[in-house]
Amino acid sequence: MIVRDLKEARNSERHVFSEGWDSVRLLLKGDQMGFSFHITTIHEGAELQMHYKNHLESVYCISGEGSIEDCATGETHAIRPGVMYALDKHDKHVLRGKTEMVMACCFNPPVTGKEVHGPDGAYALEVDEVA
Ligand code: 9YT
């Protein structure tokens, strides 16, 4: 069994920071669960273009308000607590934080912890790396 406390993970290398967001990786590939699990904070006013070409992701909004734009259709969906979105088609999207938003996220395949967002907003697939 794996038990982790978000407060403790926040003060460890599991907590990564980037422009407009930060994220605590509670589960990574190295935990061998078949998915990774993150508590991500989108900062107020952030506008993030993302495209996970190699990963499927589902995201549940715990707190805050914002929106997600589906770049394929131009549709924008409101995000508020209780709303989930799943990028089941590796959907290119723009996430906008009207306020700070706290999101619980799962990735399949799991994030290793060593990815960086490429210029296209994707994470490369690092098959051999274990976080
Ligand atoms: C909301 C969202 O896209 N979260 C992604 C997780 C974050 N980019 C991470 O932990 O790398």
Range of the domain at 104: 25-112
Distance 94 CA to ligand 1 centre (A): 13
Question: Which pLDDT score is estimated for 62?
Answer: 98
The answer to whether position 15 is within a domain reads no
Total structural domains in the chain? Answer: 1
User: What is the pTM (predicted TM-score) of this model?
Assistant: 0.88
The answer to whether position 48 is within a domain reads yes
The amino acid that residue 123 corresponds to is Y
Band of pLDDT at residue 100, cut at 50, 70 and 90: very high
Mean pLDDT, the chain, whole residue set: 89
Per-residue pLDDT tens over the stretch 60-78 = 999 999 999 999 999 999 9
Per-residue pLDDT tens over the stretch 33-49 = 999 999 999 999 999 99
- Alpha carbon distances (Å) from 66 to 8, 17, 119: 27, 20, 23
The answer to whether position 118 is within a domain reads no
Task: Determine the Cα–Cα distance for residues 81 and 121; give it in Å rounded to an integer.
Answer: 25
Q: Which residues line ligand 1 (CB under 6 A)?
A: 23, 25, 38, 40, 50, 59, 103, 105, 111
Site to probe by mutation for ligand 1, drawn from 38, 51, 79 as the one with most ligand atoms within 8 Å of Cβ, is: 38
Question: Which pLDDT score is estimated for 115?
Answer: 72
Domain containing 71 — which CATH number?
2.60.120.10
